[in-house]
Structure 1
Amino acid sequence: MKALIQRVMKSSVSVGGEVVSSIDQGLCVLIGISNTDTTKDMEYIVKKILNTKLFENNEGKRWAHSVVDKELEILCVSQFTLYHTLKGNKPDFHHAMPGEKSKEFYEDFLQMLRKSYKADKIKDGVFGAYMQVSIQNDGPVTIQVESPNNNAIKEVPS
C-alpha cells in the first residue's frame, strides 16, 4: 500500500464538474492499493498518515506536529496508478488490486482512518470515478509512504 501525503492549504475533489468533497488546511492523501495488501499494510499507512509530523508548532518550529496534533482534515483519493510499472512508455497496472476487491479494501481503510481519528475530519472522493483533484500544496511538502510488505514490488525494466 502506498500513500502520497501532501500538506495542503486547501484541496477538493470534483466529479462531472461538481465538488464532491473539500478541505481547508490539512492533508490530501493519494492512496494506492497493491494486489498483495493486507490489513497490516492498512494499519501501517493509517498510523503514518495520522502521526507523521508535517506541521509547525505555535512557536514556528518545523516538523513538530501531526495532522492529529493540529486537529486538521484529511482528504483521501484512491489512485490505482500509484502501482504502475512502465513497459517502455506505456504504464501497466498489474500490481494494483483489481476493482471490486480494492473498493472494499479502500472503504475498510477509510473506516480504520475514521475510527483512529475523528470521523468528521476524514473526507474522500468517489471511488472509481473520473475525478479532478485540486491541491494547493503547502510548502510544497509531499511525502511518499509505502507499507513494508510492498517494498519488494519493483519496476520491470523496459
Structure 2
Amino acid sequence: MQKLPLLGISSIANLLASIKFSKYFELGKNDIIFTIFTDSAELYQTRLQEQRVLKGNYTEKQAALDWEGPLKAQKIDYFLELRYLEKKRIHNLKYYTWVEQQGKTCQEIQHQWEPDYWKETFEDNLDELDTAIEEFDALL
C-alpha cells in the first residue's frame, strides 16, 4: 500500500487492462504481459483530497478489499478484440492529448502506427529502458 502512489489513474487503467487481456487470451504462468505505468498519483492530489473528504483515509482494510475485488475479480467484460479499422480509430483518438496538450505533430502520431516506430522506441533503446526499469524498481 505504501507504493500505491506510484500509480495514477492511467497507470491503474493500464494495469486493469493487462489483467483483462491475460484473462481474455487465457494466458498462464509462462506468459509475460508488458504494460506501461504512465503517471503517478502525484498528478491527482485534488482528486485524492476529494476522496478523503468523501470516504476518509485509504486504509489497509480497503486496500485488501480492493485487491480481492477490483483487481483479483477482474473479468473480460468491456474487453473488445479490435479489427483493423477499430484499432485505427482508437489510434486517432490520440490527437487531443498528443497534439493539443503535448504539442506533438500529426506526423508523430501517424509514425506511431508504423512498426518501425516501436522498434526504434524500444528495441533500439534497450540499455536506456533497462536503466529506467532499474530506477523504477528501486522505488519498490
The two structures have a TM-score, normalised by structure 2, of 0.27
> Which structure has greater strand proportion?
1
The two structures have a TM-score, normalised by structure 1, of 0.25
Larger Rg: 2
* Higher relative contact order (CA closer than 8 Å, sequence separation 6+): 1
